[in-house]
Amino acid sequence: MNSYLKIIAGMLATIILGAIGSGFWERILSPGFDKLQYFVVNKISFFYTGYLDSIYEDASTSLIKYNDSSSILITQLSHIKPNSF
């Protein structure tokens, strides 16, 4: 009986710690990394004006390079309104 209680307590502790870590990432780390990324891209694009163009170009060519019919289908279906049928 004691071993079952330890297993259940371990599972609950894992879930609680995972939720705390997820919340910490969502509320603190993720916005911080977003601001850092924005800052770095702005500074690089200030000195090298073609940097943003190269990002957009890479994004467009990778879409063609890694063409996947399921991603195209999902993209097309995402524009359909729920009551349009």
Hey, what are 55's tokens? 């990002």
On the question of pLDDT at 79 being above 90, the answer is no
pLDDT at 12: 95
Distance CA 80, CA 83 (A): 9
The alpha-carbon radius of gyration of the chain (Å, integer) is 22
Hey, what are 41's tokens? 């891209």
Query: Which tens digits make up the pLDDT trace of 17-43?
Result: 999 999 898 888 888 888 998 888 888
**pLDDT-based confidence at residue 6 (cuts at 50, 70, 90):** very high
DSSP string, 16-67: HHHHHHHHHIIIIIHHHHHHHHHHHHHHHHHH-TTHHHHHHHHHHHHHHHT-
Hey, what are 67's tokens? 């063409």
